[in-house]
Structure 1
Amino acid sequence: MRYETIQELMDKAREAEGKTFGEIDTTGRIKNVRSKGSLGHIIEESHFGYPINSDARPDFEELGIELKVTPFKKNKNGTYSSKERLVLNMIDYHSEHRYSFETSSFLSKATSMLIMLYQYEPEIPMDDYRIYKSFLNEFSEEDLAVMRQDWETIVTKIKNGEAHLISEADTMYLSACTKGANGSIVRTQPFSDEPAKPRAFSLKASYMSGLIRKYLTPELMESIANQGELNEMSIEELLETRLSPHYGKTLIDLCEETKVPYNPRNKAMIPHVMAKLLGVQKTDLSGIEEFAKANIKFKTVAREPDGKIREHMSFGKVDFENLCQSDWEDSDLYDTFAEQKYLFLEFQYDEEYVPKKKRIPRFVGIRLWNMPLDTIDGELYEMWSEARKVVIEGVELIPMKNRVKNNLPGSKFNQVAHVRSKGADGDDKIRLPDGQWITKQAFWLDRNYIQQILDA
């Protein structure tokens, strides 16, 4: 079937809203659905009436519109988020670097997209999944400005012969995700003999979550950017512009300035202060639109008077079941660093550390960072692999005077990452797969590694 106007196409798309895939299917394809990709085929074939194909041209070529059918999920707190990234097209390392952003394969595929949202519910069969919303997506100038920077970051690595070092965490909204049945599949690249994993342009799950919330909920996240600001500067430059006037001020000064009560025991205090300094009313930095869409998480770092860092940095509790059952690229730890950026908020004390003495730090700077891919697949993988091996074979628990030691990879393992306890106390325990109980553990980055990042 041919659609002559965008309005005609959108009217047809909205006819699917409220219907299940079982109700839409007219070919019997739903009986053999084994993957989410097949759900898109049902919409193409049964709802819009055109045959399934692998043509690189837009699905509705006469209108220049691409069809994307993608899942969302409802979170425990009632908010909505994307179930996954939105994959667009494979990157040809040998040709992409010849294009400009305006002629890139990404834009040719994604300039105008008809996006149809269905709710992912793991407890029900796929044929009962329901289409909730259809909308035509055309990127804003602000989002395109960020995506241009992302595309240039990816293409620069290709031009430098570093396609094998591309990481999803390199970029903000547009990423280059790995594609292939397993990690052994590789492709050649034009400026290096080093083979590279096949990758595709995709919109990050965090970016898609922003779109989904925009269309499924009336309230929008707050933005730190004024109209057009992201056309003129990067997100990092925007953060530096907003926050640098406050460097050198004590945390008490910042609390007084933002009218946030000073309470060192309140973990939400610093993100609340920072949000106010950035000009939004949110009490959590994750409520800032640019942070949410770019998957930026914040971490507070405290330096001693000489600039040294005294404490390691934790990155989430160890899920021992996930550790044992997941492959590396499907693991929680891999996702933590391969897809996320971190905004380090640096504070520094004026006085030397004295136990139990309360010290007031000064805000001294920021650093937007993501872990390099060679570190992710190097030292981080080595630590994860060793931890997995120890847990599968059975953790050795060795009673000491005031604690219980174990043989999980500790802070001396490789000077980048390790496992150590992070329980409320010695009684805050979790059961291991072999039935033993252990104090809750977390993954940590070594303080000296954090030091190197901030001093670079």
Structure 2
Amino acid sequence: MYFENEEDLIKKAREACGKTFKEIDQYNRLSKKGATGALGQIIEESFFGYELNSKSEADFANLGIELKVTPFKQNKNKTLSAKERLVLNIINYMEEVHNDFWTSSFWKKNEKLLLMFYEWKSDIDRGDFRIIETVLFTIPEEDLEIIKKDWELIVNKIRAGEAHTLSEGDTLYLGACTKGANKNSVRPQPYSSEMAMQRAYSLKQSYMSALVRQIISNEKLVQFANAAELKNKTIEQLLHERFDSFIGMTMEEMAGHLNIKINPKNRSAVPNLISALLGVKGTKLDKIAEFAKANIQFKTVRLQQSGKPKESMSFVNIDFNEVLQETWEESFIRNYFLETQILFVVFQYDDQDALRFKGIKLWHMPLNIIDKEVFNYWNEIRLVLENGVILTKTNKGIQNNFPKSNFNGILHVRPKGADGNDKVQLPDGQWITKQCYWLNASYIGKIIEEL
């Protein structure tokens, strides 16, 4: 099917809204169990009527528009989010290093995207998934400045002979995700003899979730930086510009300068300070566009007078049944650290025991730590679950035999429930107080030692 202009293409695309894939499928693609990309193929073949291809140019080449069919889901709290990242074109390491951004395969293929969103539900057949919305998407100017920097970081790594070290955590919006059947899906790179995992450009899941919230939920996200600022500076540089002049102040002094009222003992104190510092006073942090799109999550660190962190840092509760069922590549904890940027907001007690602002650190866990130390810890948890969790009553409460903080110096598991009665059931039927991943205080100390 040929379209002479964007209007005709969009008009046709909107005819799919409200329809299920079962209603659209003319070539029985749904009968092929687990076929990767089957839903996208149904739209290509049965709806738009063009042959499947892997062209380097956009799907609707005369219009420069690439078609992407992508899922979203409803979360337990009724909010919507993208189910996955949006995988784009495969990165040809040998060729991409000779391009600039505007001549890159990424830009030539994905300058304009026809996004067709369908709602994924766990309890229905995929043929019953329904197309909900379709939009012609061009990257906003302020996002484009960040994506250009992400592209340059990816390609500069390839130019340095380090394609094998690429990680999605390196960048903010545009990722280089693995693309292949398994870890043996590798390809050569130009400036190193080491084979590198095959990767594709992708818009990260957090970026796609922000689009879902804006396009389908009609949420308003607030930018703290404009395109002109982002043209010359990174998000991290802009964060330092906003924060660094407050170093040495107490929370109350910071609040006074920002003309806001806070209660330092209240959990909302630091988020309120951050939004005011960024010039979007009163905005919830998950409504700040750059935080939502890059999946930047803040964590408060309190240092003792000695400079050592006062305590370890909690992250996410553990679903032990999920740990037993998942593979490492698809594991929750691996993808959490791969996809999350952490903004450490650091305070330190002075000699009068007053808590003073020390600085910030935007950080993501290095890939080698994720795939070695975090993997080893995750694997040890699986072994304990398979061999049996031993719960022992002591004077301090109930102890378990999950690996402790000295296992590898990076993270550990310990309780994080409302109280001792806030429990979950283990795969073996025993009940245990809710457990959570914690980063060791000593490891946090190493991350922020430059402060």
- How far does the alpha carbon of each residue in 1:96-145 deviate from its partner, in whole angstroms, 9 at most, with x for none? 22211111111111101111111112222222222121111111221111
Alpha-carbon separation, structure 2, partners of 1:177 and 1:391: 30
Q: Closer, same or farther in 2 for the Cα pair 1:77/1:22, shift >3 Å?
A: same
What's the counterpart of residue 83 of structure 2?
A: 83
Q: Which residue of 2 aligns with 1:369?
A: 363
1:379 aligns with 2:380: no
Question: By how many angstroms is 1:33 displaced?
Answer: 5.9
Q: Which moved more, 1:389-398 or 1:277-286?
A: 277-286
Cα separation, 2, equivalents of 1:84 and 1:282: 30
- How has the CA–CA distance of structure 1 residues 106 and 275 changed in structure 2, closer, same or farther, with 3 Å as cutoff? same
Structure 2 counterparts to residues 404-415 of structure 1, below 5 A: 404-415=398-409
Would you say 1:436 and 2:413 are equivalent positions?
no
1:186 corresponds in structure 2 to: 186
**Corresponding residue of 1:12:** 12
After superposition, the C-alpha distances for 1:165-201 in whole angstroms (9 at most, x for unaligned) are: 2111110000011122223433333333333221111
Instruction: Give secondary structure in 2 for the equivalent of 1:371.
Output: coil
Alignment match, 1:46: 46
1:445 maps onto 2:446 in alignment: no
Moved more, 17-26 or 65-74: 17-26
* C-alpha contact (below 8 Å) 1:260/1:273 kept by paired residues: no
User: Secondary structure, in 3 states, of the residue corresponding to 1:19?
Assistant: coil
Aligned residue identity for 2:109: K
Aligned to 2:350: 350
SS of corresponding position for 2:97: helix
Give 2:74's aligned residue.
Answer: 74
Counterpart of 1:327? 327
Is the 8 Å Cα contact of residues 262 and 272 (structure 2) preserved in structure 1? no
Q: Structure 2 length as normaliser, TM-score?
A: 0.94
Describe the superposition over 1:186-239 as per-residue Cα deviations: whole angstroms up to 9, x where unpaired: 333333333322111100011112222222233311111134221121111111
1:351 CA drift (Å): 3.7
RMSD: 1.9
| Correspondence for 1:23 | 23
Query: Partner residue of 1:104?
Result: 104
The one-letter code of the counterpart of 1:455 is: E
Alpha carbons 1:258, 1:273 under 8 Å: kept: no
1:292-303 alignment runs, 5 A limit: 292-303=292-303
Match of 2:262 in 1: 261
Q: Which stretch of the first structure deviates more once superposed, 110-119 or 30-39?
A: 30-39
Q: Aligned with 2:118: secondary structure?
A: strand
Post-superposition offset of 1:344: 0.6
Helix, strand or coil: the match of 2:124? coil
Deviations 1:10-40 (A, max 9, x none): 1111121222222223333344463461111
Q: Is the 8 A contact 2:141 2:227 kept in 1?
A: no
Letter in 2 for 1:97: V
1:47-62 paired onto structure 2 within 5 Å: 47-62=47-62
5+ residue gaps in structure 2? none
Instruction: Give the distance between the partners of 1:109 and 1:216, measured in 2 at CA.
Output: 25
The number of residues matched between the two structures is: 449
Is 1:418 aligned to 2:394, yes or no? no
Contact 2:56 2:105 in 1 (8 A): no
Q: 1:5 to 1:15 in 2, by over 3 A?
A: same
Q: Does 1:310 align with 2:310?
A: yes
| % identical aligned pairs | 49
Per-residue deviation at 1:424? 3.2
Which residue of the partner structure matches residue 355 of structure 1?
Answer: none
Contact 1:83–1:205 (8 Å) recurs in 2 = yes
Q: Secondary structure of 2:93's partner?
A: coil
Offset, 1:360: 4.0
Q: Contact (CA 8 Å) 1:312, 1:445: kept in 2 or not? A: yes
Question: CA separation in 2, counterparts of 1:219 and 1:414?
Answer: 42
CA distance in 1 between counterparts of 2:242 and 2:291 reads: 15
What is the CA deviation profile of residues 287-326 of structure 1, one whole-angstrom value per residue up to 9, with x for unaligned ones? 1100110111111111112221121112211211111111
Number of the residue aligned with 1:356: none
Opposite residue 219 of structure 1, the aligned amino acid is E
Contact 2:297 2:340 in 1 (8 A): yes
TM-score by length of structure 1 reads 0.93
1:394 maps onto 2:383 in alignment: no
Shift of 1:283: 4.6
The letter of the residue matching 1:188 is: P
Determine if contact 1:251/1:360 at 8 Å carries over to the other structure. no
Question: Deviation at 1:249?
Answer: 1.6
Contact in 2 for aligned 1:252/1:360 (Cα 8 Å): no
Aligned AA (1:260)? K
Moved more, 6-15 or 153-162: 153-162
Q: Partner letter of residue 337 of structure 1?
A: F
The range that moved more, 229-238 or 433-442, is: 433-442
CA distance in 2, matches of 1:260, 1:81: 33
Deviation at 1:327, TM superposition (A): 0.9
Moved over 6 A (4+): none
Once residues 293 and 317 of structure 1 are traced to their aligned partners in structure 2, the CA distance between those partners, rounded to angstroms, is 23
Work out the CA distance in 2 between the residues paired with 1:234 and 1:337.
21
Q: What secondary structure is seen at the aligned counterpart in 2 of 1:228?
A: helix
The superposition leaves residues 414-443 of structure 1 with CA deviations (integer Å, 9 ceiling, x where unpaired) of 111222222333333322211222222211
Deviates more, 1:418-427 or 1:79-88: 418-427
Distance 2:116 2:421 in 1: 48
Question: How many angstroms apart in 2 are the aligned matches of 1:316 and 1:255?
Answer: 30
Name whichever of 45-54 and 330-339 sits farther off: 45-54
- Cα offset for 1:258? 4.4
Once residues 365 and 178 of structure 2 are traced to their aligned partners in structure 1, the CA distance between those partners, rounded to angstroms, is 17
| Alignment correspondent of 1:127 | 127
CA contact (8 A) 1:119 1:130 kept: yes
Q: What is the CA–CA distance in structure 1 between the aligned matches of 2:139 and 2:283, rounded to whole Å?
A: 28
Going from structure 1 to structure 2, the CA distance change for 1:421 and 1:136 (only over 3 Å counts) comes to same
Partner of 2:147: 147
Question: Which residue is 1:250 aligned to?
Answer: 250
